Amino acid sequence: MTDFEPVLLANIQNPESHTLRAYEATGGYATLRHVLQDWSPEQVVDEVKASALRGRGGAGFPCGLKWSFIPKGNPGPVYLCVNADESEPGTFSNRVLMEQDPHQVLEGTILAGYATGASVAYIYLRYEYPQCLKRLQAAMDACYEAGLLGQDILGSRYSLDIIIHRGAAAYICGEETGLIESLEGKRAWPRIKPPFPAVEGLFHQPTVVNNVETLACVRHICERGAGWFRSMGTPPDPDIPHDIGSLGPKLYCLSGHIERPGCYEAPLGIPCRELIDGYGGGVWHGRRAKAVVPGGISTGLLSADELDCPLDFESPIRYGCLGLGTAAVVVMDETASMIDFLHNSCRFFSHESCGQCTPCREGTAWSLAILNRIKAGHGRIKDLDLLLEIGDSIGIIPGTTICGLADGAAWPIKNAIRKFRGEFEEYIKKTNPGGWDVQEPVPALTFVGSH
């Protein structure tokens, strides 16, 4: 790790890094000029496929493969949607890129547009990011003035317009089809797939949806080559069919009970413990870690004895987590309450569920109702099993919902209770000494208040 050279965050220490002048001084847009002059769109797709770049937005789907799904000979327009909604709790890497180095994001966007034949790109920007809006718009204005956007970019006969669309301030808009619905001016209800967006997406036209960090990586793959990208990270596991590895650099958001919170760049697969101790300076106040969220609260929890888990796309799954997610690592020290953690998680997902799918709508609401009752001092040991039943029954993975929000709601429940059940049982017995072992049905909410 000591030989690792940051690329995505290489320029952010420069106070002028957000300007076109500063970006071009470090070689910015030279790759775009070279690609538009010497490469065909198919060559760009092939290079990205060869790099095994996986989407950085949470799902980890192979980027080049997604691009190749665009129908050949499509007569209508192709759209590119840049997912800059970034609503996963604990995640702020996209904000760092857009605020500090927006031209890196724009160059990657133009390259992706060229590769996929897109004529218009929409940046779907989280509403709560006003500084990103300001920086992105200024960068786009500079690009139009310099001939890097608009008609006949750099004399290449390729044209692309980029439009910023401010999001609807809802977590569900981060799901790619929910994002598309919102862009069309409708309620952000995720669509049933197929058809997939690459075949029928925005305005019923072929559409590619990519995350901000993913597109920033595209610029460096085209500049340095797929071999460079594959030289870092975790290689494919021969025991996992179809695994293409977890390769390239990754931005990790580190927050919570940590000495040096921030956004750090490291090769995919860095052990969680090394990220916390080496980059974050360790757990604050000389305390010990109790639990760590590996990639946003939707991914679940690692316990203190699981911190050697490599932070790549596959390893967290082996530790019972949903996956790497957005690589938003949230540290909780020995004083943290798992009951409070789970209550806050359930409250978040109940609020953010769009309500389209019954298992998600009802499951998240009842999970919160049960946690409210536990917090109010009326919990039962049996409630833990009811919560686990809900967690095991909702989401794409058991096949009961259209999108993965329910999975994200389920994993904190399953991890918190299964890995810290003793703490939950102790809390219930302490706060409800006369009724913790009641078995017959009781109202889900016997107390409603500030607790």
Give the per-residue pLDDT at 439: 83
Give the per-residue pLDDT at 446: 43
Give the per-residue pLDDT at 75: 83
Q: What is the dihedral of CA 180, 63, 297, 252, to 10 degrees?
A: -130
All domains in the chain, ordered by first residue: 20-231 (3.40.50.11540), 246-333 (3.10.20.600), 338-431 (1.20.1440.230)
| Higher local confidence (pLDDT), 448 or 373 | 373
Which residues sit opposite 331 in a β-bridge? 256, 292
Share the mean pLDDT of the chain.
94
Residue 82, H or E segment: strand 79-84
Is the torsion defined by CA of 263, 267, 269, 274 positive or negative? negative
| Higher local confidence (pLDDT), 72 or 220 | 220
Residue 156, amino acid = S
Q: pLDDT at residue 51 above 50?
A: yes
User: Which among 354, 362, 355, 363 has a CA at the least distance from the CA of 412?
Assistant: 363
Structure tokens at 428: 């219930």
Give the per-residue pLDDT at 239: 82
Q: Which residues have CB under 8 Å from 276's CB, separation 6+?
A: 254, 258, 282, 283, 289, 292, 307, 329, 331
pLDDT in tens, 210-223: 999 999 999 999 99
pLDDT in tens, 311-346: 999 999 999 999 999 999 999 999 999 999 999 999
Q: Which residues have CB under 8 Å from 41's CB, separation 6+?
A: 114, 115, 116, 117
Q: pLDDT at residue 226 above 90?
A: yes
The number of angstroms, rounded, from the C-alpha of 322 to the middle of its chain's C-alpha atoms is: 12
Q: What is the pTM of this model?
A: 0.93
Give the per-residue pLDDT at 440: 77
Is the torsion defined by CA of 163, 165, 166, 170 positive or negative? negative
% of the chain surpassing 90 pLDDT: 91
CB 141 within 8 A of CB 106: no
E strand spans, 245-363: 246-247, 249-256, 262-267, 289-293, 302-303, 328-333
Query: Cα separation of 172 and 182, whole Å?
Result: 10
pLDDT in tens, 360-414: 999 999 999 999 999 999 999 999 999 999 999 999 999 999 999 999 999 999 9
Give the per-residue pLDDT at 448: 42
Confidence of residue 58 (pLDDT cuts 50, 70, 90): confident
Confidence of residue 442 (pLDDT cuts 50, 70, 90): low
